[in-house]
Structure 1
Amino acid sequence: MSRTPISACIITFNEADRIDDCLASLAFCDEVVVVDSGSSDDTRARAQAHGARVIERPFDGFRSQKAFAVEQVRHDWVLCLDADERVDATLRASIEAARDHGFPGAAGYRFARLSEYFGAFLRHGNAYPDRVLRLFDRRRGGWRGEREIHEAVSLDGPRKTLAGNLEHHPYRSLSEQLAKQERYAQMMAEYQHARGKRAKLRHILLNPWWRFVRGYVLRGGFLDGWRGLLYALVRVEYVRRKAIKLWLLDRGYRP
């Protein structure tokens, strides 16, 4: 049986400090395509030095950018990563084994994402395993729908789970995390409001509380020590802000 080729896709913007590790973890792929949205650092040059094909395109949403990237590749099996992610050794072996057998009985594969937080990986709570579907046959799946934030792949066919982790290095600092969450909260509130979803005061008061209890207590986030506590508290604030913004939009105010 001939080996099924894999194309890797990455979208970037000013990722010069992280793109090298990401691309190095994709050395087993047959092609790497990077879609850059106007980086002012040397992201594009670094990607080209790794042998990636770089395409420049103005950013018009996370889902749209990723869907465009998938359309540019040569092979039908696609592995999509963000620049702050890396395929670990176990996941690489799992992908290669599935590839060598022709990806039998699946239209796509998901795997756990393991996030680094202030120098250590979070292995409990809402942070892990955080399974994501990133390896798929583009003839039977892709970045579909209208939501540009918290985008996900949908499939027309069965999915399987692979062993190993997609290592995630999402934040350079707490300030970056807070700024990113503020932007995401605004985008999600606007998306929900445009589709008729409404927020009640109970959502503002109770949803953040439940998020904390579920992640930190019931799912064992406390086992990650002070990092687990900090992560849970910051994520609670994201839930609260999203609800407040939607509540204000419902009443005709700009959040």
Structure 2
Amino acid sequence: MPLSACIIAFNEADRIGDCLASLSFCDEIVVVDSGSTDATVRIAEAMGARVLQRPFDGFRSQKHFAVEQAAHDWVLCLDADERVGAQLHASIQAARAAGFDGAAGYRFARLSDYFGRFLRHGNAYPDRVLRLFDRRRGGWRGQREVHEAVSLDGPVRPLAGDLIHYPYRSLEQQVAKTQRYARMMAEHEFARGRRARWSKLVLAPAWRFWRGYLLRGGFLDGWRGLVYAYMRANYVRQKAIMLWLLQYGQAVAEPPPAGDPPA
């Protein structure tokens, strides 16, 4: 069963090579780049990927475009900061050898590195994602451009193994990324008519922290689990504040200069 890998990238020269290496079992690799100024494109092409250029207008739209460009109907979608782990590789190959056995897609766990160690508890794990699917039965549908997800018409089955994730290069990058995602989600919710309440500002961040840190065992990841739980709670707080400001007609960000590439 032929399989295409689809990746979106922007200035990922330090991570794209490992990502592509973990996809060597795929029949083709499509990389959609949004104007990288580093060696991302050169590395991807040297490793045999087909690289396409497209201006960034949202994560969902970029991934949908990548899937449309694939030569095969079964696709495996990754971000440049992800790699297929050994057990997941074996599980994908077994499902592939069985002709994907009537499934529309497959879901598997994502294991994230956080300051040099993998988080195995709390809100961080298993973080199951649907990334392997038959594009004829769905894909990156909907209007939300951040925290995008695949939806399918048909059965979705689990696969053993982990998708290895290296989401942050530093705390500074995590703070900036979290703020950007919070703004995008607040703008999306505001456009759909949702409004913030005081409980969202006060109670929702606290609940996110205690749910991840205590109820889901985030404390078992040591100080990393504590910092991660706090950062996730801060995301909820930022999103609520931005939605609150939007409904009172206040700006939440300065517009980027014309022609500025995505962060």
TM-score bracket relative to the smaller structure: over 0.9
Written as runs of structure 1 = structure 2, the 5 A alignment for 1:211-226 is 211-226=208-223
State the match for 1:140 in structure 2.
137
SS of structure 2 residue aligned to 1:92: helix
RMSD: 0.5
**Aligned residue pairs, count:** 252
SS at match of 1:243: helix
* 1:163 and 2:160 aligned: yes
2:80 is the counterpart of 1:88: no
For residue 15 of structure 1, the aligned residue among 12, 16, 28 is 12
TM-score normalised by length of structure 2: 0.95
Could you tell me which residue of structure 2 aligns to residue 179 of structure 1?
A: 176
Cα distance between partner residues in 1 of 2:168 and 2:11: 14
CA distance in 1, matches of 2:244, 2:52: 39
Deviation at 1:105, TM superposition (A): 2.4
Shift of 1:212: 0.7
Question: 1:130 aligned to 2:153?
Answer: no
* Alpha-carbon separation, structure 2, partners of 1:81 and 1:248: 34
**1:103 paired residue number:** 100
**SS of equivalent to 2:241:** helix
User: Pick from 23, 29, 35: which aligns with 1:32?
Assistant: 29
Q: Secondary structure at the match of 1:144?
A: coil
1:119 aligns with 2:96: no
Please give the per-residue CA displacement for 1:41-98, whole angstroms capped at 9, x wherever unaligned.
0100100111000001111110000000000011000000000000000000000000
> Which of 49, 52, 56 pairs up with 2:49?
52
1:170 partner letter: P
Any gaps of 5 or more consecutive residues in structure 2?
253-263
Which deviations, in whole Å up to 9, do the C-alpha atoms of 1:180-229 show, x marking residues without a partner?
01111110000000000010011110000000111000000000000000
Alpha-carbon distance in 2 for matches of 1:254, 1:189? 12
Question: Structure 2: how far apart are the matches of 1:249 and 1:73?
Answer: 39
C-alpha distance in 1, partners of 2:68/2:175? 33
Partner of 2:61: 64
Give 1:197's aligned residue: 194
1:247 equivalent to 2:249? Answer: no
Between the aligned partners of 1:139 and 1:151, the Cα distance in structure 2 is 18
Post-superposition offset of 1:13: 0.2
In the alignment, is residue 234 of structure 1 matched against residue 231 of structure 2?
A: yes
SS in 2 for 1:81: strand
Distance 1:73 1:237 in 2: 37
What is the CA–CA distance in structure 2 between the aligned matches of 1:120 and 1:214, rounded to whole Å?
A: 21
Q: Secondary structure at the match of 2:7?
A: strand
Q: Distance in 2 between matches of 1:194 and 1:10?
A: 28
Which stretches of structure 1, 4 residues or longer, exceed 6 Å deviation after superposition? Answer: none
- Offset, 1:14: 0.1
Shift of 1:17: 0.1
Q: Which moved more, 1:9-18 or 1:244-253?
A: 244-253
Instruction: Give the TM-score normalised by the residue count of structure 1.
Output: 0.98
2:176 counterpart letter in structure 1: A
In 1, Cα distance between equivalents of 2:59 and 2:117: 27
Name the residue aligned to 2:255: none
Letter in 1 for 2:106: Y
Partner Cα separation in structure 2 for residue 203 and residue 59 of structure 1: 31
Tell me which residue corresponds to 2:258. Answer: none
**Structure-2 separation of matches of 1:190 and 1:181:** 14
Counterpart code for 1:249:
L
